[in-house]
């Protein structure tokens, strides 16, 4: 059972409410988003009408308590939303969910004034938000952040160059990491980081270049530049020096959502391959009658359902606030995203030459799945996290182990 305590740790707890929510999201995804996916692929832009519809459904408020104008719900509901949206458009799923990388740290570490000011407009979908941490020389290595914040009276002067920031082009608010003090030695590189809440219309905040990444057409990241930006003291998130803790805690929460996104991609890959294999004929027979095809379909389904169960399990542990949710989230994110990549490639092979045609939509799943293996912590970083959690469980610390 190690690193888990007993067999009850492997339960998955779902409810009729979650299933009703899933059906609502699926209907929206198929009826509203589905007809626009090719348009998004070609224009690299998500139509405003889809965001309007998402507001009507309250999707931006999932996971935010009602007292801050949110819809409530927890990790399971967020995971199901990511799965169902990603089955049709991983890019739109990302566009809706990315504000969570802002709202989660504000909910967990913000004071009441920050919560009252910033959470309600995001929950209502009136404002967008993003998380600005990655830099040219620091991404997975959060302790390597080089942006600076220097105290100046009742303000902080922040200078930063952030890259690959999802949702930056629409965001009104950012949480931004910066170094408020230097670390004393290599073993304490993580110290001295802090997070700040920054508004886009403040002097010195600029949205830079858009990165034309391989996938997620319609929701692609941007550069965010801060030049001598004056940030009020009250916009320091949490305590000074808590930045590393804020970052890793936020990613622990976000990881399960990416696993859900990967499950949605794998589901789409399976459905497209299965439907094609039934309809396509070769040598006067449906190609599903050939073992080379049918065995691939069986393998996709096996891995897909395993990924789904692991993802729902991690979300259940997170919903319960269990410490084991950290390692479970890394297991689910790594496994599900790699299943999505494999399933998408297998689906292309079942389609043959047709699978390479963008109009069919299968090759886009492969491009999107590759992104999921990288953001929210690369899968190699997840493997490090898994082993470190094992060392902490066994020895009380991972220091010196890995």
Residues serving a catalytic function are 376
Q: Closest Cα to residue 344, out of 281, 289, 398, 268?
A: 268
Q: Closest Cα to residue 115, out of 171, 68, 74?
A: 68
Query: Interior CA angle at 175 toward 217 and 189, to 5°?
Result: 105
Rounded Cα distance, 147 and 257, in Å:
28
Q: Which neighbouring-strand residues pair with 224?
A: 162, 207
What is the three-class DSSP state of 89?
coil
Residue with the two structure tokens 């952030």: 162
197 within 8 A of 237, measured Cβ to Cβ? yes
What is the three-class DSSP state of 132?
strand
224 within 8 A of 162, measured Cβ to Cβ? yes
Contacts 24+ apart (CB under 8 A), 386-392: 386/327, 386/330, 386/331, 386/334, 389/3, 389/326, 389/327, 389/330, 390/2, 390/3, 390/327
Q: Which residues contact 16 (CB under 8 A, 6 or more apart)?
A: none
Residue with the two structure tokens 């209907």: 27
Q: Closest Cα to residue 150, out of 208, 202, 226, 205?
A: 226
DSSP 178-245: EESS--SSGGGTTTTEEEEEEETTSTTEEEEEEP--SS-TTS--EEEEEEEEEEEGGGEESSTT-HHH
With b for 16 or more beta-carbon neighbours within 10 A and e for fewer, the 329-338 pattern comes to bbbbbbbbbb
């Amino acid at each position: 059972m190690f690193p888990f305590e007993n067999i009850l740790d492997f339960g998955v707890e779902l409810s009729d409410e979650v299933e009703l929510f899933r059906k609502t999201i699926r209907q929206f995804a198929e009826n509203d988003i589905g007809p626009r996916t090719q348009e998004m692929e070609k224009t690299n832009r998500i139509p405003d009408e889809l965001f309007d519809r998402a507001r009507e459904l309250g999707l931006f408020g999932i996971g935010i308590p009602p007292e801050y104008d949110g819809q409530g719900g927890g990790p399971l509901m967020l995971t199901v939303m990511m799965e169902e949206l990603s089955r049709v458009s991983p890019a739109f799923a990302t566009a809706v969910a990315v504000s969570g990388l802002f709202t989660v740290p504000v909910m967990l570490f913000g004071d009441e004034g920050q919560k009252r000011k910033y959470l309600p407009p995001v929950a209502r979908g009136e404002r967008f938000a993003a998380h600005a941490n990655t830099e040219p020389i620091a991404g997975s290595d959060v302790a390597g952040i080089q942006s600076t914040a220097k105290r100046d009276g009742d303000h902080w002067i922040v200078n930063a160059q952030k890259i690959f920031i999802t949702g930056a082009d629409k965001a009104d608010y950012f949480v931004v990491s910066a170094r408020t003090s230097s670390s004393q030695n290599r073993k304490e590189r993580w110290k001295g980081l802090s997070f700040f809440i920054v508004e886009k219309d403040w002097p010195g905040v600029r949205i830079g270049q858009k990165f034309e990444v391989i996938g997620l057409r319609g929701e692609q990241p941007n550069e965010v530049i801060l030049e001598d930006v004056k940030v009020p003291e009250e916009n320091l998130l949490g305590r000074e020096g808590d930045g590393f803790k804020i970052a890793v805690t936020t990613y622990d929460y976000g990881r399960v959502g990416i696993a859900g996104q990967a499950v949605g991609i794998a589901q789409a890959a399976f459905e497209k391959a299965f439907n094609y294999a039934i309809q396509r004929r070769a040598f006067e027979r449906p190609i599903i009658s050939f073992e080379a095809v049918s065995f691939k379909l069986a393998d996709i389904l096996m891995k897909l359902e395993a990924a789904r169960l692991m993802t729902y399990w991690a979300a259940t542990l997170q919903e319960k606030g269990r410490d084991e949710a950290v390692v479970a989230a890394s297991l689910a994110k790594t496994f599900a995203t790699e299943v999505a990549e494999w399933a998408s490639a297998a689906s292309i092979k079942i389609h043959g030459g047709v699978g390479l045609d963008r109009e069919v939509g299968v090759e886009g799943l492969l491009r999107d799945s590759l992104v999921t293996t990288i953001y929210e912590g690369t899968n190699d970083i997840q493997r490090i996290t898994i082993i470190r959690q094992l060392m902490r469980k066994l020895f009380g610390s991972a220091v010196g182990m890995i």
